[in-house]
A and B are shown apart, each in its own frame.
Chain A
Amino acid sequence: MPLYSGALHYFRLARGHWRDALQAIKDLGLPMVETYVPWAAHETAPGSFDFGTARPELDLGGFLDLSHALGLKVFLRPGPHINGELTRFGLPSRVVHDPRCQARSPLGRPVYNGFPPQMFPVPSFASEVFRGETAQWYRAVAEVVRPRVWPDGPVVLIQVDNEGALYFRNGPFDQDYRPEALAVYHRELERVYGDPATLGEGYDTTVERFSDVSPPTHFDATTLEALPRQLDWQSAHERLVQEGLAALVDSLRDAGLGRLPPVHNLPLAELAMPLPVPALARTLDIVGLDYYHRGAEFETIKRRTLYAAGTLPFAYAPEIGVGGPPWFTSLSADDSLFCAMTATAFGLRGFNLYMAVDRDRWYGSPIDARGHARPRAEAWRKLLGALTALEVPRLTRDAKVGIVVPQIYRRLARATHLLGGMVSPAALEIAQARPVDGCRDECFGLSGPPQILFWEALGHFSAALTRAQIPYVLIDSDAEEGRFACLNIIFTPSYEFMDNGLWHRLQASARQGATIYFGPHVPARDSRMRPADFETVGRMIQVDPEDAQALSTLIDHELGSYASPYQADTPAVEVTVHRAGHADRVLFVMNKSDEAVHATVTVPRPMRLRDALNQAYYDATERFALLLPPLSCRMLEIDAHRVPNGVPRDD
């Protein structure tokens, strides 16, 4: 079953409209409905829950049964954090205001999330009391859901928590200084250093027990040797998220929902957040990215999808914004469609339309709250019909070239962020700046500030490969070994220090025949800033990412064979091809500029291409021309069995 679904909040609709709304979702071509299950709405008193007895719109069981009867699968998201533009993100007031549940600031104060319509103190991912409360909530949900798990019922997927970015208070020193969270920090130190003496050596102090070590509350490193303490704190944040989500998965299993694959969704600007994406993918069955982008954010949509495609087993969007909340960037219907198509073009293989059905504190859903399709629903119906008919989720986009996103430089960028959590790196990126624009411009005795330069290097590598029309992906430095093994060519930013684990992976890839382009520096220190030997093996070649001319020349001379056989004649247009087995099946042609473009696309052999949405077709012997409106994407079915005059080919 393709992972296409639409969001409907049963608890926000009149029960009498459920059937029409679910039918409308099905009519869009979606095989699955997604819904949150809001803790605060169902809880009537501590430990007591209403699942429809008092308020009919809270009848979760009835909603699941109706979905089942209509032939829809269900993707369930019971939180505990669900956002959903609900006050306090759907958490009970008694829970968020319980000091035993709260994350703590460096001065021991509650940490407030600033979202409308009321700021609230955020729970701690490590709080045992909060975990206990959540486990109780999950057990209550499980009572309703357990008998309705596939194949006995419609529920096939379950999500733990929502956009686990520490409730968007993820500045380097925002949180979490409560004792249970500090225990996570100490466990992380133990994992990295093994014993307190080694840690003391690294920190240039005496350490008898890990639990004696206090985390930094501000950035005070002036030398390279002082950086590990700061990096370790950032690493501990990642572990906090990972352990917090793992605990929720355990609670689900304990509640009897262990048969359901657990999912988690990452927010915008995931690379600027303390999110250990590959580690999360090992903890959960599916990790995906949420998309809320205007068409003008083409490069961001592309970068995020290429990162998901290169790093995760399956590039999936648990939320792709169709409309949005009133207090976020305004998205037009065209923005949403362009985002979904562009992300698919770069490798997204499933998505959940959020929101498919309208509700309070939302605008722009294709279906209104009574279950009537709005005019814009037709465009989604056509797109979903085409994606399903062409079996796009089964197609592959070949990319033998990868650009590594090194975790250690990401961590340093977070640690050196100067604007705190009120204007976090992620907030900068969401505001169309770069997440490194708030980093201190300090070199720590190096030739440049790696915390800023690495981001620029990623851009330089991407731009050079895009210019040469070479398909590539972005790969997290901690991704599974198998992800590296797929790549013939690997680019990575490297500075005077690097994680030796990454270097070993690069060496392993080089030994297996891959070519590694790294630079601008050969590392000489490891992640703990100790002198180390970074030996090059095989074809490991130093390059300067900032030398655009040299990079282009190198790519043209050395990587020409990796260029796509489908080439656009203008830099305003990008194309991607997706294959079924060895056969080219779908060609996406995207105009990323804000002006209409007449483009010509070269093809490798004579073929007919049919627009999957409007049925227009193009016969191409060597190339074909098409007009692309501003910020638009065309999805073309490739029929190589027809020669250009439309006659079936003999072979």
Chain B
Amino acid sequence: MISPDFRFEGFGADSWSRLLALPSRPGLKTPRGRETVRLLVIVDTRGRVLRANHSLQGRLSGLGRVTPADLPSLAAAHGVDQVLFVEEGASETLAEAFQAQVQPADDFLDQWLLLLRQIRALQNDGALAVWPDPIGGLPVPSRSAVLQAMNLFVPPHRSALLAISDGGRPHAFALIQRGRSLVEGLLGPEALPDLIDMDLCEVLRRPKQAVGRLNARVAPVHLGVFADRRVIAPLLSTFQPGRWARAAVRRELRLYPVPPQAVLGLAADGLLGALPSLGQRARGPLMRLLAHLRRAETVVGSPGLPFPPPPMDR
């Protein structure tokens, strides 16, 4: 979530594309590997269909009346993966409600949370629905909850570094800078060398030194992620319990510095991943993970972490 003073620089077309391509985009393909088929249904206030559009078949007619409760059966009947249901006038209601409450001083986070609350209100009124709804029923987070979540990765006035290699060569880089509350900067690979007097190969070879210079010259680094793209891409694309922890234990994924929240997160991930086999191999991945974490270094962004540093620059 970005601030009005957000800076974005240091990306060429290729380096930006590589960064965006790191996670595959699960929304575009179904698990069966084909394009997602969608159905848009727009109804009047009595549920009469004013427009139905199938992403493969075009306009559909003869749908009669539809309510949000009908979406699963509608999806099955028309062979679609997703259905979006909108009541006529919902967009205008959303706009008016937002415009009535937004304040001139609101930042982008305030504005988006307000918008999400209005969208949720429309969902509750049955004027807007999506099927399947992966976050249905979850409350819209508060501003402080979002900021707390951001604090896990990059607290105020700190930064986070992503340095991804491809067979040892520089691949994708990003330095995220947090201001007092929101993200104030996203710097790319062309901006980094000037900031720290190191080229990108050196950053990959000597992450500790790179982080040290960023600490001194830009903002204290709270979290640094160093990995090969073949390791990080599946981690970012899908969540499978234990994968992050396994990658860390095998040192395919190197976190430096590693904040306490990340340690806890990795431990939890390792625990989740190990649960099925805990009976047989109680000292398996969990113990290796703990051993690894004990070697992690206490840095500016993670005060009190009681582990020594990993031997990353050796």
Interface residue ranges, A against B (CB under 8 Å) = 87, 93, 97, 105-107, 109-112, 116-119, 121, 171, 173-174, 218, 323, 325-326, 330-333, 336, 358-364, 368-369, 374, 376, 418-423, 437-442, 452
Contacts and interface: CB of A to CB of B under 8 A. Distances in A.
B123 to A, nearest CB: 15
A218 B96 contact: no
Chain B interface mostly helix, strand, loop or mixed? mixed
Q: Which of B40, B88, B90, B92 has the most C-beta atoms of chain A within 10 angstroms of its own C-beta? A: B92
B246 to A, nearest CB: 31
A437 B40 contact: yes
A173 B92 CA distance: 8
B14 A332 contact: yes
B252 interface: no
B211 interface: no
Given A418-B88, A439-B51, A105 B16 contact: no
A362 B190 CA distance: 13
A215 to B, nearest CB: 14
21 contacts: A87-B5, A116-B2, A116-B6, A116-B108, A117-B2, A117-B4, A171-B92, A218-B89, A336-B13, A360-B9, A363-B11, A363-B16, A374-B12, A418-B51, A418-B86, A419-B86, A420-B91, A438-B51, A440-B42, A441-B49, A441-B50
A369 B9 CA distance: 9
A110 B106 CA distance: 14
A420 B95 contact: yes
Given A323-B12, A323-B16, A361-B9, 12 more contacts: A87-B5, A107-B100, A109-B100, A110-B99, A111-B99, A116-B108, A117-B4, A119-B102, A218-B89, A331-B13, A420-B92, A438-B53
Contacts of B108: 116-119
B99 A376 contact: no
A332 B96 contact: no
- The A interface is mostly helix, strand or loop, or mixed, namely loop
Question: 9 tightest CB-CB pairs across the interface, nearest first?
Answer: A420-B91, A364-B13, A363-B11, A363-B16, A109-B99, A333-B13, A117-B6, A422-B91, A118-B4
Question: Among the interface residues A105, A325, A332, A419, which one has the most CB atoms of the partner chain B within 10 A?
Answer: A419
Contacts of A419: 42, 86, 91
Interface residues of B, number: 45
Given A358-B9, A420-B92, A330 B50 contact: no
B14 A333 contact: yes
Interface string B20-51: 10000000000000000000101000000111
B12 A363 contact: yes
A111 B98 CA distance: 10
Contacts of B2: 116-117
Contacts of B3: 117
Contacts of B99: 105, 109-112, 121
A419 B188 CA distance: 37
Contact of B12 (A112, A361, A376): A376
Instruction: Tell me which of B4, B95, B107, B190 has the highest count of chain A C-beta atoms within 10 A of its own C-beta.
Output: B95
Contacts of B280: none
A118 B111 contact: yes
B52 interface: yes
B61 interface: yes
Contacts of A121: 99
A360 B53 CA distance: 39
Interface string B44-77: 0000011111000001010000000000000000
A323 B13 contact: yes
B184 to A, nearest CB: 10
A583 to B, nearest CB: 37
A528 to B, nearest CB: 25
B79 to A, nearest CB: 19
A439 B53 CA distance: 10
B218 interface: no
A87 B2 CA distance: 11
A13 to B, nearest CB: 11
B17 interface: yes
B104 interface: yes
Nearest to B87: A418
B230 interface: no
Contacts of B42: 418-419, 438, 440
Contacts of A441: 49-52, 59, 61
Contacts of A423: 91
B43 to A, nearest CB: 9
Contacts of A333: 12-14
Contacts of A437: 40, 53
B45 to A, nearest CB: 11
B186 interface: yes
A383 to B, nearest CB: 16
A421 B107 CA distance: 21
Contacts of A111: 95, 99
B178 to A, nearest CB: 14
A174 B186 CA distance: 33
Contacts of B169: none
A420 B9 CA distance: 34
Contacts of B16: 323, 326, 330, 363-364
B281 interface: no
Q: Which of A106, A119, A173, A330 is packed against the most chain B CB atoms within 10 Å?
A: A119
B116 interface: no
B307 interface: no
A332 B91 CA distance: 33
Contacts of A369: 9
B60 to A, nearest CB: 9
Interface in B199-240: none
Nearest to A96: B104
Contacts of B51: 418, 438-441
Contact of A106 (B17, B90, B91, B96): B96
Contacts of A112: 95, 98-99, 102
A363 B17 CA distance: 10
A412 to B, nearest CB: 14
B11 A364 contact: yes
Interface in B244-282: none
